[in-house]
Structure 1
């Protein structure tokens, strides 16, 4: 999951969920000697020892020595590197072999909570209901639709249901990912777009995990391919009209930099380049308006964004400027009737304001929602007659709905809005698919104890109807779990919010309970409290689960983010430590029972706090962690570096160099005791090169003074977001939980029935 700004694609080491909440280091390795560690075997009793090849890096009179720099290989084919990674995997398998039966039990338990044969909430669009279907035992989804009987005379309603009777139109499977995935170790579709006339579908396909896509066009009824696929592109693709696509390609460092116009039936080599962003601190993105009238092309850095628009009916006319490039100004656009609506942010109105401008004179703006110091505008959803605004206040999301004047009436202000009420003390709300010409707002809602639920909300009446609740099997009862919000005082007095959940009858709150603390804190990403059925496997074993909403994220508004980036980045780490100390002081847990977890940029968090306060934690899981921050950010030839100088700082500047060096995990490993640690990597990860976690583990092995478990698990058929199949992901979750429970000595004797 990336920033809520819609144009973001590949410009953060974030979560892909995604990817988030992440960079690659693709320099060629030095000439290396033969491995000194033992050969790969499934029964290794001692960890592999990575050989040391001195590699000096000097800047500003400071010399760093990286003995494991040789692990960096952009081709990912170096036999010596692959052999070392295989040895690490073999050692991990060996250490965890005694818990394999328990891990399999966990996997069976986690999988048993899923309704394997299920469909998503059908989404009404044009003459069809669109949805995805999961089949029992299958890893991937089918993309389906059903024709709506008499759709021209059937009004939109929150009480709509998709007809499925024997006399109703049958289900049509447009694409079955299970069939497409059969020949690949990894398979992911990140875009699935039907043409305006619903006769064709374009989808973006990744078969390696490297986030370099091919866009295929197929006949929606027959599945037959239409023309040749577009290759080496991003997942940003939109239909301009029924026979024209707009898409984005990347440069050699995987920065989205060019927008193209493709006419069906022509070769990709003849496509027209609409825009080329040459500033390597900017990346471009693409989105079509809900009205279907315009396409927006945005170019953004971490502090600046500007927008072009394309008339979807005349894409050959090219791009027109909607908002100019002004350093420090962010813009996000949508369209309705005669107006563009623009969310605009700057240092002056840091939590954004909403303005409108006429389509035929974009220089004239009217403020519809002014900037407010305590409320952040995060997103908007425009309809023909309504506007839904997604905001944040005091760390919690909120949704306010406004009635708009008729299209032919002046747009000078908004009526008083109607806020939607939510029931949990901490929760998450996200936009879902809604039809522009309806009065029905669809959103998804969940909390730490509430399964993901899809609602249709009638913006005229305020009536809300649940359309789909994630089925959780195995006797789940939400009332048996307790959620709350707490605030931990940071070292500078800042109050840091935390979201907490536990099972009421299993937790003592006397310091004896195990606790898993999750953190991220980068890119203005909001880690709102979300439901995860697999998490029940630790909650039902007496764990408390908590999320630390630390600075660097966006939960408390734009300033919360600004106070946790660049030369204030250490606030992210000290906030997390303050949350851990608070939980111990309030007797939620003790040091002996405190476990921590973070992925990607959250893995940087893990590495930093482990170096700073290893005594505070018992177990740590760092997923695809960005732990070699300084070396990576000094190399502009690798993905994400140039676009992220505004996030972390440019260490080619001496002040940033020394500041970044003071927290970069690989550079700060010390001769001290560390907790039990599990680290994961993906061989094809384009955001955090596998060598970063590998180097971190190798240096820890060389330096740390304890005998606690330290494992590296590298997935050879995955990228940043791990394996692609839904059951494969559950197996990985079971492995992580098994490691945590093993480290806490909480794995009971397995019953003979297993």
Structure 2
């Protein structure tokens, strides 16, 4: 290991004052990415990290090789029919990005058997991500929508990672760009039924999607028409298209309240029609079902119901009950088809699907889609045709890499369309299970765990605990080829399904937000202690990882219980939360007040957030080794947060930095998700795992091989 001193940022005094409390922050100047001194500091941090980890290159190379060996690099997705075409994606060995392709639909024929290595007769490539990315350090395809004739596509492309997109219309046959007048678009693109118009969104200075625009293909963007604007800074605005492609579903929403309008795409220059005016706390979404709408809402139950109403009279007073959530269930949404409905929900802490058959003008009783036990989760896959009599289903778990089924809704018969092939992976060599941990306040917190078969709770194993716990987003057990590199070295891997997430419904989320946010952090600490107390993990061999809001979690738990963790990876971490939430001009801030509270208006919220925000609560005690990763173009969590955090950690904690380094790795051209190519992403994961495994003393494979 090279002996080199870490970069030390200069101090430039900066202060903020709220509620009579003044906080001095000498590193706030690091926010300006246009400042050459800031760029030089980030580059110095990268150089320091590379010097401190140079001895890990063989291990990182080995982990990368393992990820690659466990991936079928040349592969093809399950074909999905939309009108006259079967659509699918290809990946090719050595290529960073997928190809988006299609072949003609043969009426009456079954889905084509597509060769992963060779194109079919009549196959068309709509977008080749590798060609798009040539000469670019970053590439993301934000959307791809085919026009009603099938001859053109509308795409959103990003070459910086800042999630601001260029909208292009292209000719499928020639690949020519027919229209690129619109730049700086947000998420979402949709066609009018006549193919003359495309709809898109724009963001404001705080990166809030607040407008929907209509663009006439071939015209100047100066002639575009504003369809809808959302003026409430707490609300965002977006849209979907109904499965019958007739309606643009415009959804304005905060984390607690929704409002939906419908625009007839057969009359694209008309005005949107309001479904139900917003009411504080009424959260609802809409699916179109012929001449009816289906409403998923919380008007009566915290975990949501489904109602229906005539399209002609959509207001709440006309909503008719259709389905309620049962005990321990949370309804997430409903997909409408000509002969049935598919309800997406959570049950028993896992994703689940219910089918409701249509009976004339009515609806039948919900029936479950059966799934084998354990941690297997079932979700609705891609079934774009409204008149489909089958439903694509996806089944996953820690040990199920990805099974795609076609469910015949009338007979309940399911056909396996594709089982994701993972070279060298035998699920029988591993064990997955769920634990329940009693939290400090008595609540039972689920933990999903996977390990190599033969690993026993003898108090000697290395462990790896992952967490998130915000925005009602669940982190479910899912397969990862990269994770096999941990399991094959004897690491016990677990996910803590802590409060603030959505694993156990809206109430589980409510117990981990606002003035109950500390539950998120203490739940994670309780889960970590349980893994040690139960003997699954050695007391000095536990790693932790969280990203984004999960990075806030990492910063909070190392302040609460630094002695529990040997090493922590904080990815794009939201570790300077109070500073950010106090500035409504920053991206996403105003909309976050329903998640964290508004510390500008409330002294109680200010004091509460200040008590846990990681940057302001670092202690002068021994901490674990820490790796913070970030990207300069990240709009969601600015790179300045981990940059400041790393500086303050180094100057405060008492750890031996030669043994437990505090490192920062910054991507100069990337966004919230890191680098965009799959091989680049594997290299990043391999580096992160190598750092963690080295700290855990788990570099040796269980079969005796040493990297």
TM over 0.5, shorter chain:
yes
> Deviations 1:207-254 (Å, cap 9, x if unpaired)?
000000011111122211112242110121111222211111011111
Check 1:254–1:163 CA distance in 2 against 1; reply closer, same or farther (3 A cut).
Answer: closer
- CA shift, 1:374, in A, is 2.8
Q: Is there any run of 5+ residues in structure 1 with no aligned partner, and where? A: 1-41
User: In the alignment, which of 340, 352, 365 is matched to residue 416 of structure 1?
Assistant: 365
Alpha-carbon distance between aligned partners in 2 of 1:191 and 1:138, rounded to the nearest angstrom: 20
Partner residue of 1:546? 494
Q: Is the 8 A contact 2:461 2:541 kept in 1?
A: yes
The corresponding residue for 1:649 is 597
Partner of 2:392: 442
Q: For residue 269 of structure 2, give the secondary structure of its aligned residue in structure 1.
A: helix
Q: What is aligned with 1:45?
A: 4
Task: Please list, as runs of the form range in 1=range in 2, the aligned pairs for 1:122-201 lying within 5 A after superposition.
Answer: 122-149=79-106, 151=107, 153-154=108-109, 160-162=111-113, 169-201=121-153
Identify the residue that residue 747 of structure 1 maps to in structure 2: 699
3-state secondary structure, aligned to 1:404: strand
**2:650 is the counterpart of 1:701:** yes
2:293 aligns to what?
340
Say yes or no: does 1:381 pair with 2:335.
yes
Quote the residue 1:601 is aligned against.
Answer: 549
**How far 1:627 moved relative to its partner?**
0.2
The correspondence of residues 262-661 of structure 1 with structure 2, limited to 5 A, is 262-346=215-299, 348-363=300-315, 364-406=318-360, 409=361, 411=362, 414-434=363-383, 435-473=385-423, 475-505=424-454, 507-652=455-600, 653-661=602-610
Q: Which moved more, 1:217-226 or 1:661-670?
A: 217-226
CA contact (8 A) 2:452 2:490 kept: yes
Q: Does 1:211 align with 2:199?
A: no
Contact conserved, 2:333 with 2:345, CA < 8 A, in 1? Answer: yes
Contact in 1 for aligned 2:76/2:115 (Cα 8 Å): no
Q: Contact 1:228/1:267 (CA < 8 Å) preserved in 2?
A: no
Residues 173-193 of structure 1: per-residue CA shift (max 9 Å, x gap): 122110110121010002111
Write the mapping of 1:717-728 to structure 2, written as runs, cut at 5 A. Answer: 717-728=669-680
1:61 equivalenced with 2:9 (yes/no): no
Q: Secondary structure at the match of 1:327?
A: coil
Q: Distance in 1 between matches of 2:115 and 2:570?
A: 45
User: 1:745 deviation in Å?
Assistant: 2.8
What secondary structure, in the 3-state scheme, does the structure 2 residue paired with 1:323 have? coil
Taking the aligned partners of 1:311 and 1:616, their CA distance within structure 2 comes to 57
Contact 1:523 1:647 in 2 (8 A): yes
* Contact 1:43/1:91 (<8 A) preserved: no
Specify the alignment match of 2:208 in structure 1.
Answer: 255
Q: In the aligned structure 2, how far is the partner of 1:316 from the partner of 1:213?
A: 24
Cα displacement string for residues 64-116 of structure 1 (whole angstroms, at most 9, x for unaligned residues): 1212111111xx22110011111110010001101112211111111111111
Report deviation, 1:729.
Answer: 0.6
SS in 1 for 2:178: coil
For residues 601-623 of structure 1, give each alpha carbon's deviation from its aligned partner in whole angstroms, at most 9, with x where no partner exists.
00000000000100111111100
1:661-720: per-residue Cα shift (whole Å, max 9, x none)?
A: 000000101111101111101010000000000011000001000112111000111110
Deviation at 1:590, TM superposition (A): 2.2
Which protein, 1 or 2, shows the higher relative CO under an 8 Å CA cutoff with sep ≥ 6? 1
| SS of residue in 1 equivalent to 2:333 | strand
Q: Distance in 2 between matches of 1:160 and 1:747?
A: 45
Q: Secondary structure at the match of 1:631?
A: helix
Q: Deviations over 1:414-439 (max 9, x none)?
A: 32222111124113333221022111
Q: Residues of 1 paired with 2:645 and 2:279: CA distance?
A: 40
Deviation at 1:167, TM superposition (A): 12
Q: Could you tell me how far apart the structure 2 residues matched to 1:56 and 1:292 are? A: 53
SS at match of 2:294: strand
Residue aligned with 2:557, SS:
helix
Contact 1:44 1:90 in 2 (8 A): no
Report Cα offsets for 1:318-360 as digits up to 9, x if no partner: 21101211111111111111101110124x4111110111111
| Residue in structure 1 matching 2:45, options 70, 88, 91 | 88
Shift of 1:197: 1.9
Aligned Cα root-mean-square deviation (Å)? 1.9
How far apart, CA to CA, are the structure 2 residues paired with 1:484 and 1:372?
A: 24
- The structural deviation recorded for 1:634 is 0.2
2:668 corresponds in structure 1 to 716
Native 8 Å contact 1:46 1:91 kept in 2: yes
Residue 134 of structure 2 aligns to a residue whose secondary structure is: helix
- What's the offset of the Cα at 1:456? 1.2
Residues 304, 329 of structure 1: 8 Å contact kept? yes
Gaps of 5+ in 2: none
Contact preservation (8 Å) 2:489, 2:699: no
Q: Would you say the 8 A contact 1:522–1:564 is kept in 2?
A: yes
Give the conservation status (yes or no) of the 8 Å contact 1:147–1:169.
Answer: no
Confirm or deny: 8 A CA contact 2:352 2:377 kept in the other structure: no
CA contact (8 A) 2:551 2:570 kept: yes
Q: How far apart are the structure 1 equivalents of 2:283 and 2:700?
A: 54
CA offsets per residue over residues 450-508 of structure 1, 9 Å max, x none? 102222111111111221222211x2111111110110001110000011101103x12
Following the alignment from structure 1 to structure 2, what is the Cα–Cα distance between the partners of residues 722 and 370?
Answer: 40
Distance 1:752 1:362 in 2: 65
Inter-partner Cα distance in structure 1 for 2:66 and 2:527: 31
Rounded to whole Å, the distance in 2 between the matches of 1:519 and 1:167 is: 41
CA distance, structure 1, for counterparts of residue 368 and residue 68 of structure 2: 37
